[in-house]
Structure 1
Amino acid sequence: MDLTNRQLNILKAIVKDYIETAEAVGSRTISKKYDLGVSAATIRNEMSDLEDLGYLIQPHTSAGRIPTQKGYILYVDTLMGGTELEDYEKEILQKLFKDNFNRVDNLIEELSKTLSNLTNYTTIAVYDSGKDTHTIKYIQLVNLSENKILLIVVSDEGDIKSREFDTTEDLPQAKLNLISSNLSNKLSGKKISELDENMISYIKYEIGEYSEIVDDLVSLLNTSSKEEDYKISMNGATNIFYYPEFNDMVKAKSFLNMLEEKESLAKIIDEKGIQKDNLNIVIGKNDDTLSTDLSIITATYNVQDNLKGKISFIGPTRMDYSKIYSILNYMSLLLDGK
């Protein structure tokens, strides 16, 4: 069922008011603060209909309404516009870019810190140095003991990566030497970024019954690449305590625990949500990745053609989506040098 323009305007007003106050919104409040051209009684009836449709919820009897996840999604997807940044906010960001634009690592670190201070949200910057220096020189497999092998990868710069893993059968060193030679011949001079699915499938086919070794090799290379090529900058982890809905220590502790789980955090940042320009917006989900009380806004960016990554804002579901949207759009202009 499509909402009427009046219902959309009322929903938009309720979301904006709740983001600002964190208090359930009543019909009289909407009538006084927003010029919608209808009476409080009419607004109350429309709010009741919006509740029946799943866009609002009444947390307590005789209380006003607050948006549901469905209500936030509609607001962000179709109703939200940008807001003009304050002059001082623009000046802070301009100065940051001017002072650090030729020091890329420092720029990202300072940017994450500054954005957290400006918004009172937690910010996470994940960025790739873009150097892509991991080029394979040779691969060696060593028999450690029965059904246990040491995998060694040496790069052209002399870096050594290794990992022990188990095999389904005991492979003699002579056989491991042949496999090592085969892998080295096929992968020497290749960068990790060049190991796409087609190449991996081809190598596994060539290795045949020992293809499980290729899986361990790819896992080692990808892990090493992420650990060394990608850096993470997190700021404002305790900002969540500014928001009354997280005065509940159980919720707050759960949030802080989530920030400590790097793998889970990476999944959340990469999770597909509402696409708006270059932003990905995930609004509180009831699953094992993101709490229903949280939302995350992520932007993908490039700097000077040699750095790419993502910056994310994490906050309560009533976070100021419009403000973050405007900040990230302004950031994009600065990154593009406009």
Structure 2
Amino acid sequence: MSRSPSYSGGMDTVGAEERAALVALLQVRPQGLPWGEITARVVEVGSALDVWDRLVPPTLVEAPGESSPLEAAAHDISVWTDQGHTVLTVLDDRYPERLREVHQAPPVLFARGSLLPDDTAVSVVGSRAASEHGMEFAASVAKDLVHRKVTVLAGLAAGIDTAAHRAALDAGGRTVAVIGTGINKVYPAANKELHREISARGLLLSQFWPDAPPQKHTFLMRNATMSGYGMATVVVEAGEHSGARTQARMAVEHGRPVILTNMVVRANAWARALVGRPGVHTAGTVDDVSKIVDDLVKRESVLEDDLRRLVSP
């Protein structure tokens, strides 16, 4: 019998058993399946419990004298919730809508702060070893986004990310940090207070188990998630091998607009290669960035109005 989640008003409601089943699938990884394949199967079927029943042998579920993987996963979720985290699966109604649309949508998210499923956010990213001009540019872009009631999205890294988050908070706006570690970790350590402040006044998101340490590949995965969460990405200042380059390329793949500053284009072959691609813009000033963002927001508003007219009775 199918256990597909029920739907109400176009929004899915997922019970505790479904959530535990998805976490258990990710922990057990039946048949050695990668997380991406598990996610795809769960989304296609619409039920993690159904996928569990199909992939996991009963002998694993019924090991005598031990908690079943489903029970262990439910216990873990309870512990994480007691720590103050919200645990979201890709089937949950509060899962970020834009992120759900992309191929690399994480199967599970850990959140602290205020969740807005239809958040209108723009990523502001760049080098950890940023110049003073780059930091000032990022801060000015962030303040301008706040003025336009757009969420400032960044990765809580040193440099450009920190400047963007700090400026957004100081301007009284909303900022979201998508981090490359577990949500219980603070990296870099210098951002401990910023980490706390964002979780209290904005939103902290992680796609990794709560105690996962920083690793090179987790930051690249984080960049893909940031691209999926936001409506656009602004690359302020970056090097030839920076994570911002990965995010810009992922944004193009996701069909999300990319705004490259002139200093990024002048300094990097990868940026020059992106110029001229659909959805890729260049900006010399903060005003240029603002005008592009205004245009993108207006286009999205028109598309949403058209969609509402199409689906209304």
TM range (shorter): under 0.3
TM-score (norm 1): 0.24
Larger RCO (CA within 8 A; separation ≥ 6):
1
